[in-house]
């Protein structure tokens, strides 16, 4: 078990061994019972993380559907078609968001660059595999050759290296002609 925030100590509340075939329907009751027990002693989690398997995504959808209240929220933009709208779910008057755990989210973002697409676009700019090769082959770069060639798609450290502040700083300094990849990082 990991806590997605640095310097936040974990507090074990419950652990249940389950098989990979366990269905979300059986897990939602356990989760809601745990939330109720926490509420009874004045503890209100602000987030709930899952690693992104279909069972866990379904569980998160079911938990969200059982929220006591839903507050619509939007972030305005100058372009009307670019307004971000979402719902904030609350339990006993306390908001709680469903998130993907940060390590898994990092691997997902990293793996998107290796989808096999010939070119990815971000607005008017493009990203391609060759940019990652250039990034990894630079002698001062924060990436290793193995982070780009014959990659292990479950490598947390490679994803963390690519999506780090150091990688972004390096990319802006040595590859400023590739704005799409800089934006993505």
pLDDT for the residue numbered 63: 92
Residues 129-169 have pLDDT tens digits of 888 888 888 999 888 888 888 777 777 788 888 888 999 99
pLDDT for the residue numbered 2: 54
The Cα 3–Cα 39 span in angstroms is 20
Predicted TM-score (pTM) of this structure: 0.57
Instruction: Please provide residue 25's backbone torsions phi and psi, each rounded to the nearest 5 degrees.
Output: -60, -35
What does the mean pLDDT of the chain come to?
84
The Cα 105–Cα 179 span in angstroms is 22
pLDDT for the residue numbered 171: 93
pLDDT for the residue numbered 5: 63
pLDDT band at 46 (very low <50, low <70, confident <90, very high): confident
pLDDT band at 179 (very low <50, low <70, confident <90, very high): very high
Q: Please give the C-alpha separations between residue 48 and each of 21, 65, 156, in angstroms, as whole numbers.
A: 21, 14, 20
Pick from 50, 55, 149, 67: nearest CA to 101: 50
What percent of the chain clears pLDDT 70, i.e. is strictly above it?
91
The Cα 67–Cα 31 span in angstroms is 12
Residues 71-116 have pLDDT tens digits of 999 988 888 788 889 899 999 999 998 887 777 777 878 788 877 7
Using an 8 Å Cβ cutoff, are 94 and 100 in contact?
A: no
What percent of the chain clears pLDDT 90, i.e. is strictly above it?
27
pLDDT for the residue numbered 144: 86
């Amino acid at each position: 078990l990991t806590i997605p925030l640095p310097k936040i100590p974990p507090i074990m509340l419950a652990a249940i061994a389950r098989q990979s075939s366990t269905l979300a329907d059986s897990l939602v009751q356990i989760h809601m019972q745990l939330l109720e027990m926490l509420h009874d002693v004045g503890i209100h989690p602000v987030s709930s993380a899952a690693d992104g398997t279909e069972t866990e995504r379904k569980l998160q959808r079911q938990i969200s559907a059982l929220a006591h209240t839903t507050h619509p929220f939007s972030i305005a933009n100058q372009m009307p078609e670019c307004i971000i709208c979402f719902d904030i779910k609350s339990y006993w008057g306390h908001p709680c968001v469903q998130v993907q755990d940060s390590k898994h989210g990092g691997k997902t973002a990293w793996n998107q660059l290796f989808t096999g697409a010939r070119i990815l676009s971000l607005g008017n700019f493009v990203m391609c595999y060759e940019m990652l090769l250039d990034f990894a082959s630079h002698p001062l770069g924060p990436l290793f050759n193995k982070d780009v060639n014959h990659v292990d798609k479950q490598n947390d450290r490679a994803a963390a290296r690519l999506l780090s502040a150091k990688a972004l700083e390096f990319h802006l300094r040595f590859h400023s002609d590739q704005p799409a990849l800089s934006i993505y990082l």
